[in-house]
Amino acid sequence: MSQTTDTREAVEAELEFDPLVDTADITVKNINGDVALNGTVPSYPQYQEAAAAARRVGGVKHVHNHLMVQLPDADYRDDAQLATAANNALAWDATVPSGIEATARNGNLTLTGFVSYGSQRLAAERSVSSLIGVRNVKDEIEVSYDADPVDVTILVDDAIDRNALFYDDSDVRVTVTGNTVTLDGHVRTWAEHDAAVGAAWMASGVDEVLDDIAITG
């Protein structure tokens, strides 16, 4: 059996194993570790979880999530209802700073406002992603000041050094330009990859992380 078939079948098995994903309308394609997810799911959290499940599989280098969210009729919310629910969720979440606002159009939420940390942007996304009626979340929240290249580089390097997930032969390089952090190099697993990207988002002033890290397996 070819590696292509092995990886595709492993991703399909992981999706079936995950109780948070309805696989009835999902198809998987794999070309040399580049995995594409196609079809539909009934909620935005399932859209996110399907990609996360695929990344857990050994041999997967990239995940292209082409799934569409097709809401059941019972989960439909008009724009006013959804926007109200999203803004309430943001206001009640202690990890989201004040001033973040949500607007809705056809089930698609757009978030705007200003924060100091990229991790606060992610917190705002998490706060609204699981609401009934959400088909997609577009994050237009801005970070209010530039990142310090030295601080960001040290933060990410230190996080990698102390992380038990990293192998000695993994190598991640950090470049900072304005509010943008670029990560390149290579790691062996998606767990290492996610730890490096997560560390970059924790730094103050970061509003974009460009991920050029290769997964070597």
Do 139 and 89 lie in one domain? The reply is: yes
Question: What is residue 142's predicted lDDT score, i.e. its pLDDT?
Answer: 87
Instruction: Examine the fold and report which residue of 108, 143, 178 is the final residue of a domain before the chain moves on.
Output: 143
Instruction: Examine the fold and report which residue of 51, 69, 87 is the final residue of a domain before the chain moves on.
Output: 69
Query: Alpha-carbon Rg of the chain, whole angstroms?
Result: 19
**94-121 pLDDT, tens digit each:** 999 999 999 999 999 999 999 888 888 8
Indicate the pLDDT class of residue 196, thresholds 50, 70 and 90. confident
Do 128 and 179 lie in one domain? The reply is: no
Distance CA 142, CA 200 (A): 16
Which pTM was predicted?
0.75
Distance CA 188, CA 217 (A): 5
CATH of residue 138's domain is 3.30.1340
Helices (H), 31-117: 44-55, 79-92
- Does residue 1 have a pLDDT over 50? no
Distance CA 188, CA 193 (A): 8
Evaluate whether 13 touches 30 at the Cβ level (below 8 Å).
no
Please provide residue 161's backbone torsions phi and psi, each rounded to the nearest 5 degrees: -60, -35
Indicate the pLDDT class of residue 2, thresholds 50, 70 and 90. low
**124-180 pLDDT, tens digit each:** 999 999 999 999 999 999 887 766 777 777 777 777 677 666 666 668 888 888 778
Q: Decide which of 216 and 127 is more confident.
A: 127
Instruction: Examine the fold and report which residue of 111, 143, 175 is the final residue of a domain before the chain moves on.
Output: 143
Neighbours of 8 (CB within 10 A): 21
Domain that includes residue 30, residue range: 3-69
**20-34 pLDDT, tens digit each:** 999 999 999 999 999
**56-103 pLDDT, tens digit each:** 898 898 899 999 999 999 999 999 999 999 999 999 999 999 999 999
Do 201 and 168 lie in one domain? The reply is: yes
Question: What is residue 180's predicted lDDT score, i.e. its pLDDT?
Answer: 84
Question: What is residue 140's predicted lDDT score, i.e. its pLDDT?
Answer: 94
The number of domains in the chain is 3
